[in-house]
Amino acid sequence: MLYIGVDLGTSAVKLLMMDENGNIQKIVSKEYPLYFPYPGWSEQNPQDWFAQSMEGIKELTSECDKSQVAGISFGGQMHGLVVLDKEDQVIRPAILWNDGRTTKETDYLNQVIGKDKLSEYTANIAFAGFTAPKILWMKENEPENYKKIAKIMLPKDYLAYWLSGSFCTDVSDASGMLLMDVKNRCWSKEMLEICGVTEEQLPKLYESYEVVGTLKPEVAKELGFSENVKVIAGAGDNAAAAVGTGTVGDGRCNISLGTSGTIFISSEKFGVDKHNALHSFAHADGHYHLMGCMLSAASCNKWWNEEILGTKDYAAEQTDIKNLGENRVFYLPYLMGERSPHNDPDARAMFIGMSMDTTRADMTQAVLEGVAFGLRDSLEVARSLGIQIDRTKICGGGAKSPLWRKIIANVMNLKVDVIESEEGPALGGAMLAAVGCGEYPDVETIAEKLVKVVDTIEPEPELVAKYEERYQQFRKLYPAVKGLF
């Protein structure tokens, strides 16, 4: 049988088809526009997502036996606010995860409602990107639109709705709305009251691997599929990527070096750190995970190479980097503000420590190390909870750099496992579809069967010691310059 994973990203939708043994048959990508109507705003048209996803599915399955397609599932950009009226029309463009308009609402939630209360209700505190502050922003700034809201959903769930007719979401994606009681995997009545929404306006909650419905007859006909093709709930992009890298079960770790950077730790038990520096979310495997998210990771390297150095040959810029652990230049990786662990939208990037003998290679090295140190900040929070991690998977565009992988291994003092097929949330979505269709009994079984490690970078004790010293200096920089932001 064939399973389709749909990764609804910020710049494009990536669609992947695999068979029951995990062999990837084909991958298709379709782009759509991103709109910035005002500085700091970020929006998309949900109809663009569905149109491009349908085109992508047609192209993906154009040469296969369509009767073999059994299930479709998703990984999707998290936190976005999609609102429909009672006629199922989109009321306004979706407000995305990287939209920064909700500073006032975020401050209200954290300071007036209070972080302790939010943590009690949802296991998390408010961040500007989360969904609940966006609802409050609509209530304040677009009251006419706010009154029209019949359905509130997340980006990937808009696709599930138009494919199946099921008004649904999954617990991993819903964890990032600040509307869900994560520990008990249900909507928080207190948060609904604070945001002025009813449970009828919110989708039904499912586990990521659960079937939410089958294709609507008209959709099945347009795609040339059977009406029995199952639609499975899917997961937020980070949880779906974790499934795709086998980061499921207890005490597994994955580091993602994408546009943003994440350190993702799966756990069978629910847990929250006392400062809420990490997100505490439900996981796609039926358990939980802790996640530290830095807003600029590989995007720091892209900015440095393309905007400042004027090159796209990233590898060439790394060839002269030799003296790891001895760089005197530091880089703070806060181009877009920072989420974990500082929760400071005003934080900004900076270089510190240059002298007359500082080279271009030193600056490039500082960027790679700054991102690694930023991720280590979140790892230290997890360690403070007593979580012992000795190895991690790695994924994302930045993970293609052997040098960056080596820096990560030694800054973190972790064994870094490179996997054979790194296709992120799209692969995780296809794997969830296979579990939902009964091909595998659970998420851990399919991950064990399909995820293969092809290389491991071992930390080197001497280099670990050098980086430990550098990291302790890095830790002092943000508190020292915070007042300048």
Question: Does any domain span residue 430?
Answer: no
354 annotated as belonging to a binding site for a ligand: no
- Whether the full predicted model's pTM is greater than 0.75, yes or no, is yes
DSSP 202: S
Active site residue 237: yes
Domain boundary residue, one of 213, 238, 263? 238
Domain boundary residue, one of 238, 258, 281? 238
Asked if 180 and 262 sit in the same domain, the reply is: no
Question: Does any domain span residue 427?
Answer: no
443-450 helix and 424-436 helix, angle to the nearest 10 degrees:
130
pLDDT reported for residue 5? 98
Asked if 226 and 296 sit in the same domain, the reply is: no
Give the Cα separation of 91 and 86 in Å (integer): 10
The CA-based angle 407-410-412, given to 5 degrees, is: 100
pLDDT reported for residue 346? 87
Asked if 157 and 289 sit in the same domain, the reply is: no
Asked if 261 and 120 sit in the same domain, the reply is: no
Asked if 293 and 194 sit in the same domain, the reply is: no
Q: Are 462 and 42 in contact (CB under 8 A)?
A: no
Question: Does any domain span residue 432?
Answer: no
CA atoms within 13 A on the CB side of 335: 18
Question: Does any domain span residue 429?
Answer: no
Instruction: Work out the number of other CB atoms within 10 angstroms of the CB of residue 79.
Output: 24
Structure tokens at 110: 């954290």
User: Rounded mean pLDDT of the chain?
Assistant: 96
Q: What is the CA radius of gyration of the chain?
A: 22
pLDDT reported for residue 149? 98
Residues of the chain with confidence (pLDDT) below 50: none
The three-class DSSP label of residue 59 is: helix
Give the Cα separation of 161 and 153 in Å (integer): 9
Give the Cα separation of 343 and 275 in Å (integer): 11
User: Each residue of 206-232: pLDDT tens digit?
Assistant: 999 999 999 999 999 999 999 999 999
Asked if 233 and 318 sit in the same domain, the reply is: no
Question: Does any domain span residue 268?
Answer: yes
Q: Which sign, positive or negative, has the C-alpha torsion 426, 432, 437, 441? A: positive
Give the Cα separation of 279 and 277 in Å (integer): 7
pLDDT reported for residue 39? 85
Asked if 91 and 207 sit in the same domain, the reply is: yes
Find the CATH number of the domain harbouring 181: 3.30.420.40
Q: H helices within 128-199, ranges in order?
A: 131-141, 143-148, 155-164, 171-174, 189-195
Asked if 211 and 294 sit in the same domain, the reply is: no
Structure tokens at 412: 């973190």
Please give the residue range of the domain that contains residue 358.
246-421+452-485
- Kindly name the residue from 99, 157, 237, 362 that is annotated as catalytic: 237
Question: Does any domain span residue 431?
Answer: no
Give the Cα separation of 120 and 74 in Å (integer): 29
Asked if 181 and 286 sit in the same domain, the reply is: no
Asked if 415 and 324 sit in the same domain, the reply is: yes
79 annotated as belonging to a binding site for a ligand: yes
Q: Domain total for the chain?
A: 2
Asked if 123 and 254 sit in the same domain, the reply is: no
Domain boundary residue, one of 238, 261, 295? 238
Question: Does any domain span residue 162?
Answer: yes
Asked if 256 and 354 sit in the same domain, the reply is: yes
Question: Does any domain span residue 320?
Answer: yes
The three-class DSSP label of residue 342 is: coil
What is the b/e burial string over 33-60, where b = at least 16 CB atoms within 10 angstroms of the residue's CB? eeeeeeeeebbbbbebbbebbbebbeeb
